[in-house]
Amino acid sequence: MTARLGIVGSPVAHSLSPAIQGAALRAAGVDATYERWETPLDDLPARVASLRERDCLGANVTIPHKQAVLSLLDDVAPLAAGIGAVNTIVNDGGRLAGHNTDGGGFVAALEEAGFTPSGKRFLLVGAGGAARGIAFALRHAGADIAISNRTPERAQALAGAVRARAVPFAASPAPYDCVVNCTSAGMHGSGAETVLPVDPAASDPGALIVDIVYAPEETPLLRAARAAGRPVLRGLPMLIHQGALAFELWTGRPAPLDAMREAARAALSRNEP
């Protein structure tokens, strides 16, 4: 029996997950398909209930449902409960367990790039869902974290949740070992393609500049960081590693990272404007 997986959200038409996970399933020899499951909010309870069927391994969850699914699950992993958001659901014999692999994927991408977060000073720019997942994972990894946001109250709320510091949005990035853009600035279609969330030239000369935006791969922030001579990390590795962690939760097998990277870059190249 061919098993089913998919991504639950709205919209999901442009998600890279079907390409990435489809390639992973083929490379690992798993008899399963991965589909786009467009799901308006009113249809979410029925969609989640369908994940309990015997042929379903689980699903990814994306905007706007990462928080709404929590009440529909049987179990939620401690990290996901702390974050207050789920991006991966696993069907275990009809019981649904929620996980969050976003932050773990970010830390894995850092470590793959040779940057160990323990003891390092991080500035997260933004305080939305992505920043929340990353902040919790970095705290678990032993990092020192500061958070800035255009709305100071949001930065303060997240900082309080992860025992971090809230700093002004215009604060200098100079004291930090790593500066992470957790906003949508620079994303295709965001309307903010030329706005830099932080000035990389003002950072420490050895600071790693990270942009979690993966489309385009080379964002305005990363171009400015390269021009200033700073090391950079793109958003695509985080996407691949969070997908790899989800794959392992569903299948119990090591994720075929090379196949996932190749599929992600091929999908991005097809979607380039």
Of the candidates 134, 143, 126, the one whose C-alpha atom is nearest the C-alpha of residue 82 is: 134
Burial class (CB in 10 A: 0-12, 13-18, 19+), 30: buried
Would you give the DSSP letter of residue 189? T
Question: Alpha-carbon distance 105 to 176, whole Å?
Answer: 21
Task: Enumerate the H helices of 29-76 as residue ranges.
Answer: 44-50
Q: Is the dihedral of CA 262, 265, 271, 273 positive or negative?
A: negative
Amino acid identity for residue 87 in this structure? N
Would you give the DSSP letter of residue 230? -
Residue 176 phi, psi (nearest 5) = -105, 150
Known catalytic residues?
66
Question: Alpha-carbon distance 128 to 62, whole Å?
Answer: 14
Q: Is the dihedral of CA 127, 133, 134, 135 positive or negative?
A: positive
Question: Alpha-carbon distance 232 to 142, whole Å?
Answer: 21
Question: Alpha-carbon distance 109 to 160, whole Å?
Answer: 25
